[in-house]
Structure 1
Amino acid sequence: MNANRVVPCANPATQPRYSMAFAQWREVLEKVYGLNCERHPGPSCEVEIDRREIGEVCVAEVRMSAQTLAPRRKMEQTEDQLYLKLVVNGTARFEQNGEQRRFAAGSLVIVDPAAPFLEYVEEETRMVVVTCPKPALRERGYPSQFNHWLAPDVQSPDVQTVHDMVRVIASRGGGLAEQTRTLLGAQLLDLMDVLLHADSRPASRTGEAARYRVKRFIAQHIGDETLDATTIAHAAGLSISYLNRIFREEGTSPMRYLWNQRLERAYQFLTSAKADGLRIEEIAWRCGFASAAHFSRLFKQRYGATPKELREGGKAAAAAQ
């Protein structure tokens, strides 16, 4: 019995599966993944995919057989993403730049659809396919352009950890809350550094990747009034001097950046209808200010009005509309 079933990548978790003819499967591969698909001769060509959004990435569980896949030309949307493929069982053979390699169960392979390759699947094979947007990788300072597949060593404990995380997300993603999926997607993108550098050097801690990690840590701990440069540098695995250099390149310092982020977060609270029930003292505390007086003084210096004046002015403007 052939099971040609596909779940499109909509908001994702609990959609029913749909039967789909092979022609429709080819259309999905073309539009979603930017791939051509040619069916091998013979009576059986199994297809099944269950695809869901996990934050910024999409994770698909795929069952397929008797097919050859190759990137289409000039597919701008799909060329701006990478595919991480984990072979669960069966095998997939890749051919690129005159080299061939067979990936068996347990293997990981990363391919860039912007570069020509062929993927052959003969026997029934199950994979987990993670679609990673290149802009999110570039934002983190990671490489995002490859002319040849990457094959991270799954014997490495670091790589094995990412391997296991992908399996867990694929098996449980459908029942997770949206916030959990968003957090898992961001963590998986952060950990792509382990896979993208597995063949060359340890995960990058410099340049744009370090800058991204520092700012992400600050954003996640902005309410901690004890946060200082030493804590930030330690969390990012950097020296104090290197941390200072990162922000000096932007014309600021770690602590000035932190205080500006706190003030911006407070401004968002004060202008959000969802935060109307929060007292100004509560907002100050949530944004890492030790006292409401200190918060009010710095806020007025930045925005020309106290938090109370800004909130009351916003309410008056809304009432006048």
Structure 2
Amino acid sequence: MGGWSTVSSPGFGSADIQLTRPEGRMGWLASQSVGALQLNHIALSGLHMRRTSVHLSGLAQNYVLALPAAGRSRNVVGGHDVLLEPRRIYLISAAVVGDVQPEGHYESFNTLIPVHLLRQRVSNLPTVFSAPLDGSDPRAELLGVYARQIDRLAGQIGDSEAQVLTTQLCDLVALMLRGDTRTFCDDRSLAAAHKQKALDCIESHYADEDLSAEIIARRCGISEGYLHRLFRDSGQSVMERLRALRLSKAREMLTSAALANLPISEIAYRNGFRSQSNFCRVFRQIYGVSPTQLRRH
């Protein structure tokens, strides 16, 4: 009891323990590391483990890739009821509160994966994901075999090899998740939300001549590289979108009778252009006439 209550390996952390079988209990944990991965073989019987927010405090942010080997375990993960059983593979967030309650004797091989490595590949990670290992999902099958092979060869793997294997395992996790329609749709929905937020930022701040891709990304809480990827398939880069909006707003002002006496230089500055000459050059490129000619017409 005391041993399970104070397990303090970097990825496993601690938990509250309750007995569920008075006549006996059993538990063991064997761990080894390969690069950023932690590989655990776990067996539980007669124990109910509960992890609260207190236990999660200071714990490394990981996902658990679980391959149950024997028995079943009824878990609660972040409010989701999950039955862990053999012939399935599971990806479970270890950064949320939960319960582990084996039904009889339960064994599993788990791989702890740092969450930041997965978020580099999948922006919208599910709290719990499960796939069958019955041949119907080749992505899941491939991931399960690969994880087991890393465990089998752990003692023979050097640091540089470990880094390669970690990268490939994370790629296979992303491949498995991409094969699930719901996860893929969720990921696309998140990207659409991020893109809309960037468009709203451009709409609100287009007149700021210092507005850049870096500033837009920072205001949206995303990386600049990710911002550029969001616009990659739209036919316009993020800066081209900004320039198009500035020119459109300037064109509206040039054709407004109420602003007929407003200097063209002032129109340029009000729409984020640093100089009148640059504004006129770009305007002619896009519309085929100069601002002066448009206003005259």
TM-score (norm: length of structure 2): 0.55
Which among 123, 129, 137 is matched to residue 150 of structure 1? 129
Give the match for residue 259 of structure 2: none
Tell me whether 1:176 sits opposite 2:163 in the alignment. Answer: no
Aligned partner letter, 1:165: Y
CA contact 1:55–1:186 (8 Å) conserved in 2: no
Query: Could you give the per-residue CA deviations for residues 120-143 of structure 1, whole angstroms, max 9, x where no partner exists?
Result: 113222211111111222223433
Which one of 75, 78, 102 corresponds to residue 94 of structure 1? 75
Shift of residue 158, structure 1, vs aligned partner: 0.9
2:166 is aligned to 185
Unaligned runs of 5+ in 2: 192-230, 241-297
Find 1:194's aligned residue among 147, 165, 175: 175
- Cα distance, 1:96 vs. partner? 4.9
Structure 1 residues 104 and 197: CA distance shift in structure 2, 3 A: same
> 1:66 is aligned with what amino acid?
G
CA RMSD of aligned residues (A): 3.6
Aligned 1:112-151 pairs, distance under 5 A: 112-144=93-125, 146=127, 149-151=128-130
Name the SS of the counterpart of 2:163 in structure 1. helix
**Match 1:40 to one of 11, 17, 20:** 20
Specify the SS of the correspondent of 1:188: helix
Q: Which runs of 5+ in 1 are unaligned?
A: 1-21, 209-240, 252-321
The answer on 1:106 being equivalent to 2:87 is yes
More strand by share: 2
| Aligned twin of 2:2 | 23
Note if contact 1:84-1:132 (Cα within 8 Å) is conserved in structure 2.
Answer: yes
For 1:98 and 1:28, the matched residues in 2 are separated by 24
Residues 37-93 of structure 1, C-alpha deviation per residue, up to 9 Å, x if partnerless? 423233432222221222222111122222222322142443622112110122111
Q: 1:64 to 1:83 in 2, by over 3 A?
A: same
1:63 to 34, 39, 43: 43
Equivalent position of 2:264 in the other structure: none
Q: Which amino acid aligns with 2:129?
A: L
Contact 2:77-2:97 at 8 Å conserved across structures: yes
Is the contact made by 2:30 and 2:40 (CA closer than 8 Å) also made in structure 1? yes
Check the 8 A contact 1:26/1:37 in 2, yes or no.
Answer: yes
- Larger of the two Rg values belongs to structure: 2
Structure 1 Cα separation of the partners of residues 91 and 125 of structure 2? 11
1:159 CA displacement: 0.9
Q: How many residues get paired?
A: 196
SS of equivalent residue, structure 2 residue 42: strand
Kept after mapping to 1: 8 A contact 2:11/2:62? no
Using structure 1 for the length normalisation, give the TM-score: 0.51
Q: Following the alignment from structure 2 to structure 1, what is the Cα–Cα distance between the partners of residues 239 and 44?
A: 49
